[in-house]
Amino acid sequence: MSNFVRRRSQLEKVPTLLAERAKGFCDSPEYRELRPYEVTIPGVVCGAFAKYLQRIHEALMKSSGEGNEVAVQSAHDVLEFLSSSPESAVQELVMDEIYENLDCPPAVLTEIEKRLGTAARRLLAEKYSEQ
């Protein structure tokens, strides 16, 4: 009998990564409205993160407070980290559950795009090329 140890994929870690690395996300209304069992489902948490990303960008555009800047920068840092994942399932999650759920005015989307890192920008371009 062999010793089998199941390693968690990065996909399974996405909800925790978003909650821990995106400053302010786990205290946000978008995250708090999730049911306890939903906070472990990557797609559901990514959908809430998309709404959060949109909201903090809108807030930053209205008033450039340091708290808003820190939240936006950490959200983009974690987005770049996920977009750089070697697991295609994580990259698809970013495209399908974060980018697909961005429902914002063009000016806000432009601001989000300006701050995207290299990997995140590549995935967004792929998303647009699919449509």
From the first residue on, what is the mean pLDDT of each consecutive set of 10 residues in the chain (131 residues)?
A: 63 95 96 96 97 94 79 96 95 95 93 96 87 61
pTM reported for the whole predicted model = 0.90
Check residue 128 and give its pLDDT: 77
Check residue 9 and give its pLDDT: 81
Percent of residues in the chain assigned helix, strand, coil, to nearest 5: 70, 0, 30
Quote the tokens at residue 92. 């698809």
How far is the C-alpha of 120 from the C-alpha of 82, rounded, in Å? 8
Sole residue written with tokens 């069992």: 37
Domain ranges across the chain: 10-130
